[in-house]
């Protein structure tokens, strides 16, 4: 089995079992993790002198529904400079 097929199958099993909800932004534990990730990302970008991100081009590999790309827009990145790819086409269609 190719790795891409294995990953697709794993996500399909997770969806069949109704496990997607456990990763909801609104679950308190997840919200805490997402906010921590955002604080860390802003710190790294600021420390590298990359804020605001106005002239940067970004490729997000494994972007899922594009949540991080939307965050980057809030940090000043222009939508035309942001590209996301994901193995699961349905995740891209969500947004």
Tell me, what's the pLDDT at 94? 59
- Residues 6+ positions from 54 with CB-CB distance below 8 Å: 76, 77, 78
| Cα gap 68→59, rounded to integer Å | 11
Q: Which regions of the chain are under pLDDT 70? A: 93-95
CA neighbor of 77 nearest in space, from 95, 60, 94, 89: 60
pLDDT one-digit tens code per residue, 13-27? 988 888 777 778 889
């Amino acid at each position: 089995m190719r790795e891409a097929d294995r990953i697709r199958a794993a996500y399909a099993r997770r969806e069949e079992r109704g496990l997607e909800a456990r990763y909801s932004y609104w679950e308190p534990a997840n919200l805490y993790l997402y906010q921590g990730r955002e604080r860390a990302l802003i710190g790294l970008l600021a420390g590298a002198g990359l804020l605001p991100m106005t002239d940067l081009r970004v490729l997000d590999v494994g972007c899922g529904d594009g949540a991080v790309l939307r965050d980057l827009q809030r940090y000043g990145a222009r939508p035309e400079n942001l590209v996301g790819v994901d193995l699961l086409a349905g995740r891209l269609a969500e947004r």
